[in-house]
Structure 1
């Protein structure tokens, strides 16, 4: 720009004599403060600082530039997500710096599609990835910057969905039902909450659920459970329910899922009691980007992958991959079931059932990682733990310790037992720090029910009480540690992390989890399917636990979903998987109105470190309708996002109105009339001005910028406006 070039020329002439004097290095002002930059991984899309739900991100790189001297340095962020910078050895800095977050682990590259962490929302507490600081006169300054994986996003009160598993010869038609995450209390007789969205005729008995948020389609997988019926497409069926348009249809049929038929007329399907966990489908889950559906086939022990973008899938997207059985002895006792997905990694869990040996010391919980890009499992499991530890009673006073799986010979099926817990690792959730929460389903609850004949040909009429579990696995320095170990101490002591998995009285049933979990990363609770969750006897529903303390308010934190008169399994398993129906991640635009020196680019020299507060910024749609209005804050920053009505992939106009600007704290306190709009000529979109003045007059009251928002989850913090004080 001519103005800036002329100014620099004058400065050059005035200093020409200094070239005759030997140069003396000038250090930074010894009174400068220290700069601390904290880098977080964010989950909530609010732009606020909340260390309780934000995790430190190590390995990032901060770049600091002094425009006065032109010096640039980079600094690595430490293991605690923090770097503190001392400027004592900087030359000619004059205390003003530009600070940028330029790199971080797993950074998303839109050109190659690799990585997954992107710039997060900014706002109150969290800064954008480009900031300006003034460290003069001993001012210590802290900047908090953040990145996020947009696929982690879920709204504050998402909808939950679960699968009601209906007894074949008893009343009850609903299968898939939805309800808000904050639902609580008994709902017996309600037809609106939970809300049915599919019936027995649509799906039959299902367990695994997976949700593709991009088109609001819910997948559900057939499940082998005694005294139920498969849906219209039998053992290997995966159904899809369209939440946007309504209706349920077949998505695909997984091959080799088993052949055993139900026999309701034979002692209420007694011969089917040895099939749960061995036939049909286990958990299903969807990739982070919604493109792939993963399925555990419990009959052949393989992991199947399907193209989730299609209306129907004729076959797997790639050849099925055997889930490793090497952790079990013998290998034939390996029973995979549970899935979890996060950051492009698939977690597959199962148990060594000890069925063949009937030796409790051979019961184990095992979790493998699977890389879908290479279709390979890890060289060794990340979790491999014995399950022969003491547990609370499923039904007082009988100990609830895990038992080996019952064998196929029904003449050996245990009789006279209302509780006989057998572990199925049925669900996996991944915590913010990479730790795991494992859901265990009691197989006995799928082999029996409420007032039906024992599966043993000589057995009596019985009702079952299940004894599932929720287990915490901590992650430390890249390794995994079972709860109760030195690296994963239980917050309340005792023999389990999640101490709230009991009947509301705290007695009777003290292992009441049913094995399916839902964990919203932006909250502090985890939801679990549950036995008698809200006082009503012989019911099933949801219980909510504090993830830090393991506590559940047994009176308040329960919600009834299915009852003995509407489902028919009582205290035996009556629900399948539990899934969050999250919205697509939101988008954010905005950033800064600054006092320019006339050069058209934001720098840290001179006056440009100053943002202009109280400028009115108006968001308008393509028709000119006002969507939202903001005022710039003390740093000259503003942001628009979903809370203001901002939508992805949409064209907008952003209007800047200088007439409301507060110039009282700017250098030389220019008047509104003296402020001119900076031309949009800067070469760097992150630092140039995007606002074009109206009416061909650079002193016009307003200037506007055109912008089209990006895809869901994207952030654009380059929408800036500069003004300089003319004469």
Structure 2
């Protein structure tokens, strides 16, 4: 068997991820591999289209049709084609039509269905994952701030910032700080410590435009009003001073975040940290009201990472909040019911609105110690969970082996893991597994304690020997994983605070966290930690101290930058942020911003975090990805109900969007290509909140052509006399992508639809209209529709000559189109065969003989007829030259006897048909012109004007002709 591969000049383009929804690919927006691209040509009746070629986008998102064509033939030069893009069920590591959707701004890039001619390039396609949609390159950020002391007392510990916000691109030291820069603003305070206490996890609801925050055990820092199980909800846009509410106490609904039995332990007296799950009140913990007053807080030392809460995150649709409970080592899922107005569950709601799952223990040996989870990330429909094997047993003892000594010690059995978890299948799967012995500058040691201190190693020369917690997980534009590792000791220490003996320790602890990068292997099974050549790091995080990062991080999609919490970002004894070029790992010059400063400790002995962990999780604000609906209003020239290459769109059509109450809430006008779109730029549904622009998710709407342009089943204006084509016709392409969806209801052209989740754009709502051929004789012959002129529906199976074009109305013209006006001017660019220029559609009938009264004359006829049945050609000639057709002017003799010529099913080419010229024909003595009209239809029976007797519009064509005449007595001939 021979297989022929046809090489052609390529139709080509790029599929890409459009993070900002502008429909254009920027340098930071990657191409997408695995998109299926199909090329369709037009097909003769009864087929609707034909598949010519199929391609799949490559690693950089590009494709072309230069190699293999499915049909075995090339697209012809100038051929009219339809291109369709399909997002597959699953392709490679990061393409899945369950989470990836058609991009916004279809009018810019062209949607998933596009029309081209010949070998066209730059046929591009945009997709989006709603969880990475960004409306701004400078969004707000949210971060908790830690203050020592009891925030629930009437002291200075109660009035400090507990949750703040600032802009992503903010840089410098705030002007109000020690050594501040002029013009640099302070972070904006959203909640005080009295309102929230110590927090770590942050989740921003794009739908509600509110911020969830979760309590955390941080030694020396008190809990807020809700205690260790507290979840708070902040409205950063509220004009009220009090922007934060006590949203949920997990312990109060039976989800314990610490031990419910026993009491706060007495000071053990041996200067060791007691191993207990009971968390006392801030007063029981001995936390003072003053923010700079030392405290011992001895039980908290061991409890860091073991009680209260870790990270939190929220699903892309804003429906589910996920919480890491460090005490029972479970993930909790809370159904918020209404993403726009999140509802806290009561204890009675727990069985129906709360689910939980145990975090797997990846350990295979007792020497690896207890598994300790913390970090959470919701990404592409799954949760990613950070876990460490701590090398500490349940009783607080270090297990396994520790190599080295002093500041060079390393826990040999310490390991880190990231699981993915599917909430639908409820299955965990390891995606990253690595040893913490990878040679970094500040070594990782087991979780533990020693007499006098909550950690095993602490002295002036061991202050950057760290205990690992995988505290944060993010993903970049290419789907690579970023892993933030928090130094647990940074949550146990600060400066000028007490050891377990109650004595102030002057050693300033400098936390030593980490930012790791892991790339997904080609099998899509596991991630692998990568580093820069010749380094143990990918990100250049040795900024002031070795390993200056503290764990929390965030990534701005489409921008290429990762932002991380860092100690001493600009000046000494401070905390803030710094940005990294995610492509190179280098620090972005000048990108640091200081959130707090403790430089007062340079001249005082104030207890404060300083270089230890002074900040919690780092979260980007955003808005829910908008929804765009719409697509095309077009002329279905070949009447098959399927959009074909070469079939023109209809400009200037007013399309309206109506809500469920049938109120018009938006309107738009089709562009030059017939496209229309409803999105965040032109829709504000009054039934929804002001925070949601564009069509609302999961909402029913009606889209209709404005009744001013279509009513009683027929169009006016740009749709003059047009009617809807057939609905829901199936071609070879994707279902419902290239058909007409409009139904005729109550005389209106309308589409009933329901939207899906944010970011799930739908460009499948199309209106197809049938178009008509009109005449162009002077209107005394009845040419315009309003005068009762002739009209034929275009149909590829039946027309006169080599082509026929469509018009919106009859076009009376003294020269009947011979000059610049009339039918031959092709004013709406719709013609058959589809895509032909059809500069002269009056090309199927010519006078082949002279016209002599009382003698026979003939016309030469060419007709396309593939209807499968006979058709009829009728004719009229103004024999008396009176400027109108009357009964005697209809051809009804010779070949035209019986009301017209019967055209065979195969059509005719240059066939001569003859008729008798009336003996009394005068042609208006002295006239130099002859007007005639010919009409082709399936059944005949037509007049020189109008439509079928039953009111339907015949298919076929009307040809109007003006011929110059020469006369000699009663001898008349065509003066060609």
In the superposition, the TM-score normalised over structure 2's length comes to 0.59
1:441 paired with 2:441, answer: no
Residue 301 of structure 1 corresponds to 329
Residue 71 of structure 1 corresponds to 50
Q: Secondary structure at the match of 2:617?
A: strand
User: 1:182-331 alignment to 2 at 5 Å?
Assistant: 182-187=169-174, 189=176, 193-243=186-236, 246-253=243-250, 254-257=255-258, 258-261=277-280, 262-264=285-287, 267-309=295-337, 310-314=342-346, 317-318=353-354, 320-327=356-363, 329-330=365-366
Query: Alpha-carbon deviations, 1:459-480, whole Å to 9, x = none?
Result: 7322211111110000121033
Residue 387 of structure 1 corresponds to 436
User: Quick one: which of 498, 505, 510 aligns to 2:539?
Assistant: 498
With over 3 angstroms needed to count, the CA separation of the structure-2 counterparts of 1:376 and 1:715, relative to structure 1, is closer
Residue 679 of structure 1 corresponds to 723
Residue 449 of structure 2 corresponds to 407
Structure 2 gap ranges (5+): 151-155, 178-183, 259-276, 289-293, 393-397, 403-410, 601-606, 685-693, 710-715, 729-735, 773-805, 811-976
1:362 paired with 2:381, answer: no
User: 1:96-175 alignment to 2 at 5 Å?
Assistant: 96-105=80-89, 115-123=98-106, 126-135=109-118, 139-156=119-136, 157-168=138-149, 172-175=159-162
1:102 Cα deviation after fit: 4.2
Residue 581 of structure 1 corresponds to 621
Residue 524 of structure 1 corresponds to 560
1:540 paired with 2:565, answer: no
1:230 Cα deviation after fit: 0.8
1:178 paired with 2:210, answer: no
Residue 510 of structure 1 corresponds to 546
CA distance in 2, matches of 1:687, 1:165: 57
Q: Secondary structure at the match of 1:320?
A: strand
Residue 372 of structure 1 corresponds to 423
CA distance in 1, matches of 2:754, 2:237: 24
Q: Secondary structure at the match of 1:509?
A: coil
CA distance in 2, matches of 1:92, 1:462: 76
Query: Alpha-carbon deviations, 1:435-463, whole Å to 9, x = none?
Result: 21001111121111122234566773222
1:166 Cα deviation after fit: 1.4
User: 1:497-646 alignment to 2 at 5 Å?
Assistant: 497-499=538-540, 501-503=541-543, 508-533=544-569, 535-554=570-589, 556-564=590-598, 568-592=608-632, 594=634, 597=637, 599=639, 601=641, 603-604=643-644, 607-608=646-647, 610=648, 615=651, 631-632=671-672, 637=675, 639=677, 641-643=679-681
Residue 498 of structure 2 corresponds to 453
Query: Alpha-carbon deviations, 1:478-534, whole Å to 9, x = none?
Result: 0334333xxxx53x65331111x344xxxx41322121111222321111112122x
With over 3 angstroms needed to count, the CA separation of the structure-2 counterparts of 1:604 and 1:67, relative to structure 1, is farther
1:680 Cα deviation after fit: 2.5
With over 3 angstroms needed to count, the CA separation of the structure-2 counterparts of 1:629 and 1:637, relative to structure 1, is closer
CA distance in 2, matches of 1:249, 1:307: 18
Q: Which structure exhibits the higher relative contact order, with contacts defined as CA atoms closer than 8 Å and separated by 6 or more residues?
A: 1
Query: Alpha-carbon deviations, 1:323-375, whole Å to 9, x = none?
Result: 11223643533211111111111110022222323622212111111111133
1:116 Cα deviation after fit: 2.5
User: Quick one: which of 519, 529, 533 aligns to 1:483?
Assistant: 529
Q: Secondary structure at the match of 2:369?
A: helix
With over 3 angstroms needed to count, the CA separation of the structure-2 counterparts of 1:654 and 1:595, relative to structure 1, is closer
Aligned-pair Cα RMSD in Å: 3.9
With over 3 angstroms needed to count, the CA separation of the structure-2 counterparts of 1:384 and 1:595, relative to structure 1, is same
1:387 Cα deviation after fit: 1.0
With over 3 angstroms needed to count, the CA separation of the structure-2 counterparts of 1:289 and 1:638, relative to structure 1, is closer
CA distance in 2, matches of 1:71, 1:376: 43
Residue 859 of structure 2 corresponds to none
CA distance in 2, matches of 1:198, 1:482: 39
Q: Secondary structure at the match of 2:278?
A: coil
With over 3 angstroms needed to count, the CA separation of the structure-2 counterparts of 1:89 and 1:375, relative to structure 1, is closer
Farther off after superposition, 342-351 or 268-277? 268-277
CA distance in 1, matches of 2:27, 2:485: 30
Farther off after superposition, 455-464 or 437-446? 455-464
CA distance in 1, matches of 2:489, 2:17: 41
CA distance in 2, matches of 1:449, 1:432: 36
In the superposition, the TM-score normalised over structure 1's length comes to 0.78
User: 1:639-718 alignment to 2 at 5 Å?
Assistant: 639=677, 641-643=679-681, 647-649=694-696, 676=720, 678-684=722-728, 686-687=737-738, 710=755, 712-717=758-763, 718=765
1:415 Cα deviation after fit: 3.1
With over 3 angstroms needed to count, the CA separation of the structure-2 counterparts of 1:409 and 1:235, relative to structure 1, is farther
Structure 1 gap ranges (5+): 1-26, 108-112, 393-399, 659-671, 697-702
Q: Is the 8 A contact 2:727 2:740 kept in 1?
A: no
Residue 389 of structure 2 corresponds to 352
CA distance in 1, matches of 2:378, 2:449: 32
Farther off after superposition, 47-56 or 87-96? 87-96
Q: Is the 8 A contact 2:572 2:599 kept in 1?
A: no
CA distance in 2, matches of 1:230, 1:217: 21
